Structure 1
Amino acid sequence: MTETAESLFQSGVDRYQAGEEPDTLIPVFKEVCDRSPKNSSAWTCLAWLYLLADKPNAAYKAAQKAVKLHPQDPQARVNLSLAMLESGQKGVRSHVETAQQLMMVDSELSKEVKGSIEDGLQRKPDWKSLQRIKSWLLD
């Protein structure tokens, strides 16, 4: 029996939360995105994994798709901003400001973004771009 995209996604999230390395999870989330190309959460996760694996160009493409599919997702905007910073692109501020506004409106989303920032800094303590985004969003 083949796994559904949804169960594959959940299993990937569970494995990530258990501490599995991003490089081993990227193929899982790529498959979820292939099977379910309109799943913005899968694209958001894939972008995050690419960022953790130091692949900003791939992260940028995945984050762009996530934002296009769900413009009101602050995590997708944060990922896009990070990918833009890491790959030296311009236009970061508007995405950070949008993420900030979305976080002000929804405290649950705000909590999730703060949690992912902390998670990112635990997994990659010297992540300068994430430290900058954190200071822009939370200070």
Structure 2
Amino acid sequence: MSEVTVEELFDQGIERYQAGENAADLIPLFKDVCDRVPKSSPAWTCLAWLYLLDKKPTQAYKAAQKAVKLNPQDPQARVNLALAMLETAKSGVRDQVELAAQMMLAVPELHDEVKQNIEEGLSRRSDWKSLTRIQAWLFGDE
């Protein structure tokens, strides 16, 4: 049997997430992907999101920092970082939200993607006050 590539592992993780699998069950898979490909911003972005869903903001903050460092133009990575900062009472949240908003203005597809991710996050964690705040900051006047 052939070994699964990192790309296949990542894709399997995304499919399992989209199928509704619990974030806690997916964290080990995405940690493995991040360990194998430490310069993969999408993997770190996913891992940060899963940590946030699993109410582990400190781990999410570290993963989101890596994602933003690897790809400063990814608004979802910035949203994840802002969420983790809110949930760990760190300063600089507004700067991250403003940068994400600017990137979403520049690329309409990113706007839709982030909006869908936020809505999906709230469907998994309806009591997520930090995400509701970020949603209001980014999309409040739509």
Say whether the fold is shared (TM-score over 0.5): yes
User: What one-letter code is carried by the residue in structure 2 that aligns with 1:108?
Assistant: E
How much is the aligned-residue C-alpha RMSD, in angstroms? Answer: 0.4
Residues 62-81 of structure 1: matches in 2 within 5 Å?
62-81=63-82
Percent identity for Structure 1 against Structure 2: 64
Provide, for residues 26-50 of structure 1, a one-character-per-residue CA deviation record: whole Å limited to 9, x for no partner.
Answer: 0000000000111000000000000
TM-score normalised by structure 1 residue count? 0.99
In structure 2, stretches of 5+ residues that fail to align are none
The aligned residue for residue 31 of structure 2 is: 30
Provide, for residues 82-114 of structure 1, a one-character-per-residue CA deviation record: whole Å limited to 9, x for no partner.
Answer: 000011111101100000000000010111000
Residues 66-105 of structure 1: matches in 2 within 5 Å?
66-105=67-106
User: What one-letter code is carried by the residue in structure 1 that aligns with 2:125?
Assistant: K
Residues 1-139 of structure 1: matches in 2 within 5 Å?
1-139=2-140
Shift, 1:2, TM fit = 1.7
In 2, the alpha carbon distance for the partners of 1:53 and 1:2 equals 29
Segments of 4+ moved more than 3 angstroms: none
Number of matched residues? 139
Instruction: Name the SS of the counterpart of 1:37 in structure 2.
Output: coil
Provide, for residues 29-74 of structure 1, a one-character-per-residue CA deviation record: whole Å limited to 9, x for no partner.
Answer: 0000000111000000000000000000000000000000000000
In structure 1, stretches of 5+ residues that fail to align are none
TM-score normalised by structure 2 residue count? 0.97
User: What one-letter code is carried by the residue in structure 1 that aligns with 2:116?
Assistant: G
